[in-house]
Structure 1
Amino acid sequence: MSVYSMTGYANGQNGTVGTQPETDARPPAAGRLGVEIRSVNSRFLDLSFKLPEELRQHETALREMLTGRLKRGKVEVRAAVESTAQAGIAEPSTRLLQRLNGVQDGIRAWLPTARELSVADVIRLAAGDSAGRGDWGPDLLEVTSNALDSLMAAREREGARLAAMLTDHLGQLRKLAAQAVPLIPQLVEQQRARFLERWQDAMGLTGGTLPEAAQDRALTEATAFAIRIDVAEELTRLSSHLDEIDRLLKKGGEVGKRLDFLIQELHREANTLGSKSAALELTRIGVDMKVLIEQMREQVQNIE
């Protein structure tokens, strides 16, 4: 399954004027219909519709269509109708022509001097009939469905790019963790030796010798201090979080919220590593980790 971004844009329009078949109960809608769908990141699915008056009755159907395929994101749907006068001349349906002919015959039966309908009269009446009684529902649903397909494709492409970037950052974090691992025993031993050396210096200043009990106490204190600066546990948890993020990216689907939580955990481990650092090299590794994790956090905010 793919990873989807919450950011995307798509549009579409019907390609003909009056696309509804003549056999339908309602007359075809005359004009041109355009639909735009814009999507940005959000914690939940937030839909908004900007529809002209003649399309508002279809908002419920549009909402059902979008909620069936989108799970998160702030999504705005805009639709506009271009009238026949703007889009071009609509061809009157056979049914309309028959109705106009019948009305004309009835009128001329009572008013023999009434002139016959001209082509311009028929076109004008056809435009008025379609504008007043045309059903935009089928066109609107079809165009929106096509635009939604394009939006999903755009979100999938952007999601693939985000997943590739995150995977690359996972690799960099693993390299930094690998650099930190051999530093840990070395730093622990250095801290123990330094602590014992300072203890001996302090005893020397007093002119005394270092009893065996005092030496044992010094070693105990040095060991306790070494434990406090040991970051092996943080690196182990960090590695576990990296593996889980990698698994989620490969799994795909609705992983955005879980990724966001894991990024917070990564940040916590990197902060702890930096605060416990007793060497400049380990501090640098912690800073580099936090930079990468922050970049990942910004991108994860866009994943559905």
Structure 2
Amino acid sequence: MVSGEAKLYSMTGYGTSEEEVDGCRVIAEIKALNSRYLEPKFRLPRGFEHMENVLRKSLREKVSRGKIDVWIYIKTDEKFELESLMKYIKLYGDFLGKVKNELGLEFSPVLSDVLAMKNLVGSERVEYSDVIPEAKIVDVFEAALEAFEHSRLTDGLQSRLEIENYVSRIYETIERMQKSIQDVVNNYKDQLRSRIKELIGEGYDETRIIMEAGIYAAKVDIDEELSRLGAHAGRLQSVLRSGSPCGKELDFIVQEMMREINTIGSKVQDSIISNEVIDTKVLIEKIKEQVRNIE
């Protein structure tokens, strides 16, 4: 990043982090796509759903736009699964024993009865909150968020470099059009003189040709449009260097740039200027593509 420039973030990015706690791997993933607004969506492990507001607040402190998916999930190892199974075997075994005593039934629960009871109630009722502290969920989320921010910053820097390159090339097309417009008027004057010569010979009125050329020059005068186009390009660079969030303002400036170049294209039909207009439009469209991705 160039010294003095604020951070520019992309709306797209990805970050992940994980930590192990007592046989459980806590994994957080954050992924974002472009959006006009901030649209976060959280998927949290059972038992930690109440933490969404805390995590959402932390996310909003870092991000202002984007469709963001946050997944936090837990993977367990074989030892943890076996310990959980033993816990539920004891729990359901005790329950069946109480049923036997309460109802006066004559049977002795066997393992198959216990496992059937477990399946009836639900086999996925592992309470991770019993072994994983809330602080660990926050730590893993914050680490993933930091990686996510780094990803967005890297993409934002790349977008800035590409936009700066396109703006530099637009300055070049502006300069070429400024130099070419007088040639356009001179070419019109020469063509007009040639046509009149063909019609009436050498006895034409040069003053009339100069006057007609002056009228044409006023018609195709694009100095103001070129000046505004250059000013918009300068404003784009200034906003770009001010850092995020600036995507909406950049989008507005790009629209103004396209409006100016369209006006130039409609005023001057000469092939030289038309080619420059096409090249400039292509560059503005490329800037627009990058701006869509900026927060």
TM-score by length of 2: 0.74
Match of 1:54 among 47, 60, 73: 47
Give the Cα–Cα distance (whole angstroms) in 1 for the partners of residues 16 and 190 of structure 2. 69
Match of 1:6 among 6, 11, 14: 11
Match of 1:235 among 226, 232, 248: 226
Give the Cα–Cα distance (whole angstroms) in 1 for the partners of residues 153 and 129 of structure 2. 40
Change (3 A) 1:89 1:156: farther
CA drift of 1:220 comes to: 5.4
How do 1:244-259 and structure 2 match up within 5 A? 244-259=235-250
Give the Cα–Cα distance (whole angstroms) in 1 for the partners of residues 80 and 277 of structure 2. 62
How do 1:189-204 and structure 2 match up within 5 A? 189-192=186-189, 194-195=191-192, 204=200
Q: Which runs of 5+ in 2 are unaligned?
A: 1-5, 84-124
8 Å CA contact 1:259, 1:300 repeated in 2: yes
Q: Kindly tell me the number of residue pairs found equivalent between the two proteins.
A: 248
Change (3 A) 1:86 1:6: farther
Identity %: 29
- Secondary structure (helix, strand or coil) at the match of 1:247 reads helix
Paired position in structure 1 for 2:61: 68
Change (3 A) 1:132 1:219: closer
Match of 2:169 among 159, 164, 172: 172
Amino acid across the alignment from 1:60: N
Paired position in structure 2 for 1:279: 270
How do 1:205-244 and structure 2 match up within 5 A? 222-244=213-235
Give the Cα–Cα distance (whole angstroms) in 2 for the partners of residues 77 and 87 of structure 1. 25
Give the Cα–Cα distance (whole angstroms) in 2 for the partners of residues 87 and 154 of structure 1. 34
CA drift of 1:225 comes to: 3.1
1:148 aligns to 2:167 (yes or no): no
Task: Flag as ranges the 4+ runs of structure 1 deviating above 6 A.
Answer: 199-202, 209-212
Paired position in structure 1 for 2:21: 16
Change (3 A) 1:226 1:31: same
Change (3 A) 1:88 1:72: same
CA drift of 1:176 comes to: 1.4
How do 1:28-107 and structure 2 match up within 5 A? 31-83=24-76, 85=78
Amino acid across the alignment from 1:274: G
- Secondary structure (helix, strand or coil) at the match of 1:6 reads coil
Paired position in structure 1 for 2:181: 184
Give CA deviations for 1:154-176 in whole Å, capped at 9, x if unaligned.
11111111101111111111111
8 Å CA contact 1:6, 1:303 repeated in 2: yes
Over the aligned positions, Cα root-mean-square deviation in angstroms equals: 2.8
Match of 1:294 among 258, 268, 285: 285
Give the Cα–Cα distance (whole angstroms) in 1 for the partners of residues 187 and 15 of structure 2. 61
8 Å CA contact 2:46, 2:127 repeated in 1: no
CA drift of 1:178 comes to: 1.2
How do 1:108-127 and structure 2 match up within 5 A? none
- Secondary structure (helix, strand or coil) at the match of 2:35 reads coil
Give CA deviations for 1:250-279 in whole Å, capped at 9, x if unaligned.
221211111111111111222222222232
8 Å CA contact 1:196, 1:222 repeated in 2: no
CA drift of 1:288 comes to: 0.8
Give the Cα–Cα distance (whole angstroms) in 2 for the partners of residues 239 and 221 of structure 1. 30
Amino acid across the alignment from 2:182: P
Give the Cα–Cα distance (whole angstroms) in 2 for the partners of residues 136 and 45 of structure 1. 29
Give CA deviations for 1:277-304 in whole Å, capped at 9, x if unaligned.
2321111111111111111111110011
Give the Cα–Cα distance (whole angstroms) in 1 for the partners of residues 291 and 18 of structure 2. 33
